[in-house]
Amino acid sequence: MAEISLTFPDGTSRSFPAGVTPAEVAAGISGSLAKKAISATVSGTHWDMQWPITANASIAIHTMKDDAQALELIRHDCAHIMARAVQELWPGVKVTIGPVIENGFYYDFDREEPFTPEDLGAIEAKMREIINLRDPVTTEIWDRARAVRHYEDTNEPYKVELVGMIPEGQPIRMYWHGDWQDLCRGPHFQTTGQVPADAFKLMKVAGAYWRGESSRPMLQRIYGVAFRTRQDLKDHLTFLEEAEKRDHRRLGREMDLFHMQEEAPGQVFWHPNGWNIYTALQDYMRRQQNRNGYVEVNTPQVVDRRLWEASGHWEKYQEHMFVVEVDEEHAREKSINALKPMNCPCHVEIFKQGLKSYRELPLRMAEFGACNRYEPSGALHGIMRVRGFTQDDAHIFCREAHIEEETRRFIEMLSAVYRDLGFEEFKVKFSDRPEMRAGSDNVWDKAETALKNATDAAGYTYTLNPGEGAFYGPKLEFVLTDAIGRDWQCGTLQVDFVLPERLEAAYIAEDGAKHRPVMLHRAILGSFERFIGILIENFAGRLPFWLAPRQVVVASIVSDADAYVHEVTAALKAAGVRAEADTRNEKINYKVREHSVGKVPVILAIGQKEVENRTVSVRRLGQKQTEVMDLDTLVTGLRAEATPPDLR
């Protein structure tokens, strides 16, 4: 019998008969490993313990202590066990696909009656029964004809279609969990009993079109989460509860910040309170840009197709653009325009006006640019994912020799902004060339090398994000982590040698000849809409005082105090504090409760005693104790708190 060589993680190698399985390899090492083993990695591929190894390879045996591999198996097996449970409870239900997703799994079912919350409880109970049976999990490879015949005989039309989609030459692998069978690439556990019975939960049911196509049948998708331990599950459910409390859509209603409606999908209706946040943040960013040598511009919303074709966006980005046809007066054909999805080509057009000297570089050009991009309706999410948004966008036109210094300056500016907004640290990702891109490989080599060297010189480490660069250049992505551990990609910096070439931008160098500038695309917040959503969720609505939409409410306890309430309110407004009076004929406890729900940081209660002493009773959001202060001291203190951090 032919032999193969398997190399272990410690570098040692051993010979085994060709066709040996990881289960047999583990048993040959020790009986305890054979009992604990759940899967293997064979030459970089996650491998089922039953699959034969037929060629020389590296191998690592995994146990439940190996987090990534254990979670993949737990979640994949849970999807199969859930499908088995559904078909045991409702034998007529047809099954489709059930992949692993972040934190869990789902499976799509074709069932006439909708699943109910009570059904989810019954499915969970049946899943635990199946797990406790400790049924063996086995696998075979079938030929295409046998697989199709099997699924036709069992009346599983979706599986017949899936078999037909498997490319020639790829194995058609069948798995059995006990007597229940499914088509699957694997790998899986060796028994159903290896799935932790107390570490999963079914979460919700949603509709999903078969293969994601609206012309195909609507299926029912059951989502679940699964972890290695009961405590991990508990921690995740607690995290979800906290995330729900922080949901910017709910807080947006409670704080009266904004709303969305069907007549303008993906567009934000900003209410006065929300617009207070928006303008305070925009004013802050404008000051930061001025300090860092940017000039501010503004460019058109509707731009002729010809510019988008010249820039490459028409070819690479058209599916995300809103096209506008204009019937120009006396024109024989309609003019094709598009709402701008980004600002960069328009900034190049400003740069091209008049001759630019090398002495004017680097030229930092900023715009709070209103953009529109088509997002599928199912992808829209409050103000986090919209169709109409404003970027804190800027483009730095410079020479190649400037890239390192401009990168350093930008990261310093970005760091200061994030600190002021409550984020002390961030992570950096490097995104290199995507499959669909403009420019030659030589240009991309130069751009990627320049950006990597600049990031290294700035003293920042980064992780690679392969293939996620813009179509015109590589980029750095700056990732914030919020108060409950979620990551948000916000800022970006991109090096672009392509667009200046395509749009024929040039400057006059020392030699008197025209040269192409390098274009650095950069944003710190990303979009104002999304970043405000992140701020709302990070602070659970309790924004820093300088950003709070309503900073102070002055509330009367008795009507005789109304005149003093208005005097206090006027004094605070004069000091630059966003203050409002509440003299409604309501009890003070009602007013305090209402404004606390609205996340007003400071509530001042004024009754007859405060009027006589010219004091105020101060209640801070989240505190039960009140403090009595004289008016002048209060105004001085709140004036300082209301001052943005860059002006202190």
Enumerate the known binding-site residues for Zn(2+).
344, 395, 521
Measure the CA–CA gap between 442 and 107, rounded to whole angstroms.
45
CA-nearest of 192, 190, 228, 237 to 48 is 190
User: Which residues line the annotated binding site?
Assistant: 344, 395, 521
Give catalytic status of residue 236 as yes or no. Answer: no
How is residue 193 written in tokens? 């009993």
Active site residue: 220, 288, 391, 494, which one? Answer: 391
Q: Which helix (H) or strand (E) holds 180?
A: strand 180-183
Q: How far is CA 76 from CA 28, 225, 242, 434, in A?
A: 27, 11, 27, 30
462 backbone dihedrals φ, ψ, rounded to 5°: -145, 160
CB neighbourhood size of 426 (10 A): 21
CA-nearest of 524, 245, 253 to 396 is 524
With the C-alpha atoms ordered 442, 446, 447, 449, is the resulting torsion angle positive or negative? positive
Task: Please confirm whether the linkage preceding 117 is cis (ω < 30° from 0).
Answer: no
How is residue 485 written in tokens? 């551990």
Active site residue: 159, 340, 387, 521, which one? Answer: 521
Active site residue: 395, 402, 437, 530, which one? Answer: 395
How is residue 577 written in tokens? 């504090």
Active site residue: 77, 108, 182, 393, which one? Answer: 393
Give catalytic status of residue 587 as yes or no. Answer: no
Active site residue: 126, 173, 373, 530, which one? Answer: 373
Exposed / middle / buried, residue 79 (Cβ in 10 Å: 0-12, 13-18, 19+): buried
Measure the CA–CA gap between 641 and 604, rounded to whole angstroms.
16
DSSP helix/strand/coil, 544: coil
CA-nearest of 229, 220, 222 to 200 is 229
Measure the CA–CA gap between 394 and 347, rounded to whole angstroms.
9
Give catalytic status of residue 201 as yes or no. Answer: no
Query: Are the C-beta atoms of residues 364 and 405 closer than 8 Å to each other?
Result: no
The residues near 356 (Cβ < 8 Å, ≥ 6 apart) are: 363, 397, 506, 507, 508, 517
DSSP classification of residue 598: T
Measure the CA–CA gap between 605 and 200, rounded to whole angstroms.
49
CB neighbourhood size of 424 (10 A): 9
Give catalytic status of residue 10 as yes or no. Answer: no
Angle made by CA atoms 474, 479, 483, in degrees to the nearest 5: 175
Active site residue: 475, 516, 550, 619, which one? Answer: 475
Task: Please confirm whether the linkage preceding 265 is cis (ω < 30° from 0).
Answer: no
Give catalytic status of residue 373 as yes or no. Answer: yes
DSSP per-residue letters across 298-349: ---SEEEHHHHHHHTHHHHHGGGS-EEEE--TT-SSPEEEEE-S-SHHHHHH
Give catalytic status of residue 344 as yes or no. Answer: yes
CB neighbourhood size of 57 (10 A): 17
Measure the CA–CA gap between 568 and 571, rounded to whole angstroms.
5
CB neighbourhood size of 327 (10 A): 9
Measure the CA–CA gap between 461 and 598, rounded to whole angstroms.
41
Tell me, rounded to whole angstroms, the distance of Cα 441 from its chain centroid. 30
Give catalytic status of residue 248 as yes or no. Answer: no
43: left (phi over 0), alpha (psi -120 to 50) or beta: left
Query: Are the C-beta atoms of residues 630 and 617 closer than 8 Å to each other?
Result: no
Active centre residues (catalytic): 344, 373, 391, 393, 395, 475, 521
